[in-house]
Amino acid sequence: MLLAVLSVFAAAAVAPLVVRLSRKAAGWILATVPLGAFVFFIRQAGHVTHDGPLRESTPWFPAYDLPLTFYLDGLSLLFALLVTGIGTLIVVYAGGYLKHSDELGRFYVQLLSFMGAMLGLVLADNAIVFFIFFELTSLTSYLLIGFYHNEEDSRQAARKALVVTGAGGLALMAGLILLYQVTGTWEFSEMLAMGDTVVQSPLYVGIFILVCAGAFTKSAQFPFHFWLPAAMAGPTPVSAYLHSATMVKAGVFILARMHPVLGGTELWTTTLVAFGGFTMLMTAWLALRYTDLKQILAYTTTMVLGLLTMLLGVGTEEAIAAMVTFTLVHALYKGALFMLAGNIDHETGTRDLKELGGLRSAMPITMIGGLAAALSMSGIPPFFGFIGKEITYEAALHAGGWSTLILGASVLANAALVASGLLVGLKPFIGEIKGAFTREPHEAPLSMYLGPCVLGGLGLAIGLYPAFVDHSLLQSAQAGILQEPHELHLALWHGVNPALIASLITFAIGFAIYYGWERLQKSAVMGGFGRALGDAPGDGFERLLYELGRSSHTITRAFQTGQFRRYLLLIFTGTIVMVGGALLFEANLSWPSELGEVRYYEAALAGLVVLSALAAVRANDRFVAILALSIGGYSVALLYLLFGAPDLAMTQFSVETLTLILLVIVLIHLPNIDGYEPITSRVRDAVVAVGVGAIVTTVAFAALSFPLDRSVSEFMMQNSYTEAQGSNIVNVILVDFRGLDTMGEIIVLTMAALGVFVLMRMRRIRLPEILGTRLHSDDEPIRVDGDGETVPAGAEAGGAADQNGAEVHPDEPAGAEEAAPDDQSTS
Amino acid sequence: MIRSLILQIATRLLVPILLLFSIFMLLRGHNLPGGGFVGGLVAASAFVLYSLAVGVDGARRVLRLAPRTLLGTGLACSVGAGILSLATGASFLQSLWVKVPLPGLSDPLKLGSTLIFDIGVMFVVVGTVLLMVFSVEDRVPGLIDD
């Protein structure tokens, strides 16, 4: 199993190379990898159904007791087959769909990475391994939704999906950690038998809520349903694969996995039935509001996810049988229909139902595959969808106290599904050709009709011969969820019973909707319903993100004024308050017992430092001030030399020189200092300056009054030659003993240099770009560059002092900063 | 700014000496004051001096590599030294030493992976200083003109 997962990731790694070698055949070549994995899992099926689950463990992080464990039971087998089987078709399909894209290689890297992550997710036994793959699916999904990264809609949709599923992922992680605390194991396979312990634990409610948060966000349950339709901004193969057949089912999967552990309680049933049922009913009808094929399919996907969640909540033997059956039914038809939508879009240039019609002669093969899938979606016998619907109704009828409500909601939702299925799979092909297509409609290539035809055909074949899957695959999947074996028998014809009657009612309503759809779609009720439940949550979410960004911007601006002098003032005042406070309250200060004798040249250098500082303060020319400061710097370097630190002295000399040059390059462009600042700010600066000086002096004395701990330097001295072959301890520490620190430092240096580089290149920034939203795109563009007289704020500080590179001034021109009120010297 | 003939001539003489000196600093650093950091600063000063004398574009031409490339190369050297240790089974950044006996000298030449690391540090320092100076100069042109 490990090999199967790794091979998919390996395929992701070589994908760009394969695409470069052969654009046309890349999809077919790469598809052999998931196909191989699919065959592998098929071969395991007999073993899993007869001999029980397989478990496999490979050491991974022994230090953290984290092995790569995989667990293949009926449930993970079903999902693994879906991931690899549909994955194979999607890889082939994408080769045709993105044939002309320059970025096919990148696409395959992301798609196959996702596939590997998804496969790992469904197979993982260890909760941490599961979580890592879970997050990886969120991340790859983000990249794939945002594949057309030049388009703002794509970026926004991708961010929406990432924030929602990422936040849910964090909740899930917390839930899994709590689960570990209760059960004492990270392995799902061991947790499965501990349901009673968990349910009785005081942490149960917390675990349940957190796991639900993870599952509901991932599987787009109300109120998080809005990200999934938005995710349709991604390329169609992505929608077909991630956002219908596989990834969005990860939430349902974790609920199914957790069913033996967390399920069976009142809380479980009520929550899942309520949220799942509401999502199902609401999104089934929301789908009818759209004319875009992909939007319709997206909403019907959330409808099915709601249905699956609801069935898991009901949790009876029949409900779980219905859940696994519908998972397969849905994956088959929805994958096919998305590909159909992609074909239509690809070959005609539109996927709007208002413009589509009469494509039957242009795209006959796509139509056959798509129609088969659509009929399965509508639950029309003898397709597999009919069986799925019947068994759902059967489960609803025996759902205990909720049964009437559940049955009613299911019938209404399925009726909408009948209509949606016909709208997507039938309507584009019948009638007359309506609008002028931007492209001459023609049949898609083999790679693109293969998927719909195989999946649509499977829907028909399984419908006619359900014994193909019921005893083997579905029964063991059901056993995996319930942890006890049950007979699962599917059949097309059950005789005349309540479920069949419910089906007939469903068809009646469904066909009625289909014929009245155009009026319904435009009606005011539908509009209001759509705005309230379809658009509002998504808009609210965007609003929330925007407000978050704006308020953090406001807070940042309050501290990061962009004025270097203000920063220094804050930093120095902070130093005085904190270090001074610590000295006052914590340290027991005493006059050092012995101070070394002061030699005359030491005193002379110290005097020079003081004099240069005074000269810098009194200078009325920037150039003179800088030179005076440099004299101070060089004098300090000489002091280092006198006190036996030649390395430090050399470094100080070089840095001083280079800083001086940098400052001169910049300062020569600033106007001269004419006159002094107002007395208030001078007094304030003087107080801060004297305060810092006093603190530093006190700290120096305080350091002297403590006995020096030499154990570290002794160690360095003793071992520097024997261990590190060097007699210059400073250098040995830098490159050997503390080499990792040095590496960190040079990385910081690199970032600082790049920061300066970017700062110097920056011309203008827009506020909305920083906040990543377009809500206020009418803001004025911001000038950061000056006009000869002004200098970017970063440059004022000089290179050395400005190394944090964090000063981004989104909404104030640098010129304004220069002319800020307390800097009256500049004009 | 007026070009100074004296500065230009002096620079031509000084730059090679400074560069040699920087390598000297780098190599002797393990036993005597010096090392990659100071060596890098000296080498950077040489190029800054050159840019002051003949202009930034001239300095860029002489440098041949973009400062950003130097940064990347330097980081790669440092990380590479660490990975080299990993590859031999030691832990990350643990120093490795080879002793090469030289004819005519009693002491063998000791070569360590720390030297590669220190060369990396030197490159990063040169790259950092030059990237800062060059980009500031690009943005605020006029002082060092060609």
Q: Is residue B144 part of a domain?
A: no
From residue A740, alpha-carbon distances to A210, A575, B74, B94 in Å are: 39, 29, 14, 10
- Maximum distance among all alpha carbons in chain B? 59
Tally the domains of chain A.
1
Residue A774: pLDDT over 80: no
Per-residue model confidence (pLDDT) at position B141: 56
Q: Is the dihedral of CA A38, A42, A47, A50 positive or negative?
A: positive
When pLDDT is cut at 50, 70 and 90, the band that residue A497 belongs to is confident
CA distance B125 to B22: 12
For A:728-747, CB contacts with B below 8 A are 728, 730-732, 734-736, 739-740, 742-743, 746-747
Task: Establish, for the pair of chains A and B, how many residue pairs have beta carbons separated by less than 8 Å.
Answer: 154
Q: What is the mean pLDDT of residues A464-485?
A: 85
Q: Which of A658, A742, A791 sits opposite B121 (nearest CB)?
A: A742
Contacts of B133 in chain A (CB under 8 A): 658, 661-662, 665, 799
DSSP A194: G
What span, in angstroms and rounded, lies between the C-alpha atoms of A734 and A706? 27
Average pLDDT over residues A287-298: 89
Name the more confident of A782 and A230: A230
pLDDT at A795 over 60: no
CA distance A607 to A261: 77
Within a domain: A381: yes
Residue B90 inside a domain? The answer is yes
pLDDT bucket at A401, cuts 50 / 70 / 90 = confident
Are B124 and A749 a contacting pair at CB < 8 A?
A: yes
- Minimal-distance CA residue of chain A relative to B95: A736
- B139 and A760 within 8 Å at the Cβ level: the answer is yes
Residue B83 belongs to a domain: yes
Among A244, A264, A180, A259, CA closest to A212: A259
Least confidently predicted of A291-295, A337-341, A346-350, B60-64: A346-350
Is some CB atom of chain B closer than 8 A to the CB atom of A209? no
Rg (CA), chain B: 18
Q: What pLDDT, in 10s, does the model give residues A429-466?
A: 888 777 667 777 778 888 888 988 999 999 899 888 88
Any idea which of A279-283, A382-386, A577-581, A585-589 has the lowest mean pLDDT?
A: A585-589
- Whether A760 and B135 lie within 8 Å, measured CB to CB: yes
Q: pLDDT-based confidence at A598, cuts 50/70/90? A: confident
Report residue A803's pLDDT band, with 50, 70 and 90 as the boundaries. very low
The verdict on B117 touching A (C-beta cutoff 8 Å) is yes
> Is position B145 within any domain?
no
Q: Which of A286-300, A385-399, A401-415, A703-717 has the lowest mean pLDDT?
A: A703-717
- Per-residue model confidence (pLDDT) at position A114: 94
- Given an 8 Å threshold on Cβ–Cβ distance, is B117 in contact with A742? yes
Strand ranges in A711-798 using DSSP code E only, listed in sequence order:
764-765, 782-783
| Inter-chain touch B29–A747, beta carbons under 8 Å | no
For B126, the domain range is 5-139
Q: How far is A670 from chain B (nearest CA, A)?
A: 11
CA count, 13 A, side-chain hemisphere, A93: 33
Check CB contact of A554 with chain B, cutoff 8 Å. Answer: no
- Put simply, the answer to whether A753 touches B128 (Cβ < 8 Å) is yes
**A292 DSSP assignment:** B
Contact B30 A647 (CB under 8 A): no
Q: Is A661 on the interface with B (CB under 8 A)?
A: yes
- pLDDT for A693-723, tens place per residue? 999 988 888 877 777 778 888 888 888 887 7
The pLDDT score that the predictor gives to residue A673 is 67
Task: Inform me whether the C-beta atom of residue B140 falls under 8 Å from chain A C-beta atoms.
Answer: yes
DSSP annotation string for B29-46: TTTSS--HHHHHHHHHHH
A265: its two tokens? 């309680």
**pLDDT for the residue numbered A435:** 67
Residue with the larger pLDDT of the pair A724 and A13: A13
Is A760 in the B-facing interface, judged by CB distances under 8 Å?
A: yes
Cβ-based contacts of B144 with chain A (< 8 Å): 665
Q: Does residue A91 sit within a domain?
A: no
Q: Would you say residue A629 has pLDDT above 70?
A: yes
CA distance A677 to chain B (A): 26
> Any CB–CB contact under 8 A between A646 and chain B?
yes
Quick check: B36 and A735 CB within 8 A? yes
Determine, yes or no, domain membership for A469. Answer: yes
Average pLDDT, chain A: 84
Chain-chain contact of A647 with B144 (C-beta, under 8 angstroms): no
pTM over 0.90, yes/no = no
Q: Which run of H or of E encompasses A66?
A: strand A66-72
Q: Is A654 on the interface with B (CB under 8 A)?
A: yes
Residues from chain B contacting residue A647 (CB–CB below 8 Å): 33-35, 38
User: Nearest CA of chain B to the CA of A15: how many Å?
Assistant: 26
Query: In Å, how far is A623's CA from the nearest CA of chain B?
Result: 14
The whole-number average pLDDT for the span B90-110 is 80
Is A673 or A450 the better-scoring residue by pLDDT? A450
Please compute the mean of the pLDDT values over residues A3-10 and round it to a whole number: 91
Give the pLDDT score at A50.
Answer: 82
**pLDDT one-digit tens code per residue, A135-158:** 999 999 999 999 998 888 899 899
Instruction: Evaluate if residue A771 carries a pLDDT over 50.
Output: no
Whole-number CA gyration radius for chain A: 34
Contact B35 A647 (CB under 8 A): yes
pLDDT at A764 over 70: no
> What ipTM describes this predicted complex?
0.90
Assess if residue A667 is contained within a domain: no
pLDDT at B52: 83
Task: Compare all CA atoms of chain B with the CA of A801 and give the residue at the minimum distance.
Answer: B132
Higher pLDDT, residue A584 or A775: A584
Q: How high is the pLDDT of residue A84?
A: 93
Q: A110: which 2 tokens?
A: 């992301």
Using CA atoms, how far apart are residues A245 and A243, in angstroms rounded to an integer? Answer: 6
Q: Flag whether residue A400 sits within 8 Å of chain B, measured between CB atoms.
A: no
- What pLDDT is recorded for position A713? 81
Query: Quick one: pLDDT at residue A587?
Result: 66
Interval A802-808 mean pLDDT: 39
**pLDDT value at position A813?**
40
Q: DSSP alpha helices (H): ranges in A184-221?
A: 188-191, 195-200, 204-218
Tell me, yes or no, whether A762 lies in a domain: no
Q: Quick one: pLDDT band at residue A744, thresholds 50, 70, 90?
A: very high
Residues 86-115 of B with CB under 8 A from A: 92-93, 95, 97, 110, 112, 114
Q: Identify the domain containing residue A295 by its residue range.
A: 275-521
Smallest Cβ–Cβ distance between B114 and the set A664, A666, A736 belongs to A736
- Inform me whether the pLDDT recorded for A792 exceeds 50: no
- How many domains is chain B built from? 1
Residues within 8 A of A (CB atoms), B 13-52 only: 25, 29-38, 41-42, 44-45, 48, 52
Contact A658 B41 (CB under 8 A): yes
- A633 in contact with chain B, both atoms CB, cutoff 8 A: no
pLDDT recorded at residue B123: 94
The residue that leads in pLDDT, A595 or A339, is A339
pLDDT beyond 70 at A782? no
A792 touches chain B (CB under 8 A): yes
Q: Which among B33, B93, B131 has the least Cβ separation from residue A650?
A: B33
Interface contact flag, B41 A651, Cβ < 8 Å: yes
Cβ atoms A564, A796 nearer than 8 A: yes
**Closest by CA position to B144, among listed B23, B53, B65:** B53
Could you give the C-alpha distances from A180 to A170, A173, A254, in angstroms and in order? Answer: 15, 11, 15
CA distance A231 to A142: 9
Which positions in chain B touch A725 (Cβ < 8 Å)?
Answer: 30, 95, 97, 110, 112
- CA angle, residues A658, A784, B135, in degrees to nearest 5: 30
CB contacts, 8 Å: B132 with chain A: 662, 753, 756-757, 799
Q: Write out the two tokens for A781.
A: 């563009």
pLDDT in tens, B29-82: 888 888 889 999 999 999 998 888 888 888 888 888 899 999 999 999 999 998
Q: Which residues contact A124 (CB under 8 A, 6 or more apart)?
A: A69, A70, A71, A130, A133, A188
Q: Is A116 helix (H, G, I), strand (E, B) or coil?
A: helix
CB atoms A662 and B144 under 8 Å = no
Q: Which of A643, A652, A734, A735 to mutate to test the interface with B (most CBs of B within 10 A)?
A: A735
CB contact under 8 A, A756 and B92: no
Say whether residue A63 is in contact with chain B using an 8 A CB cutoff. no
In angstroms, the separation between the Cα of residue A38 and the nearest Cα of chain B is: 36
Is residue B146 assigned to a domain?
no
How near does any CA of chain B get to the CA of A646, in Å?
6
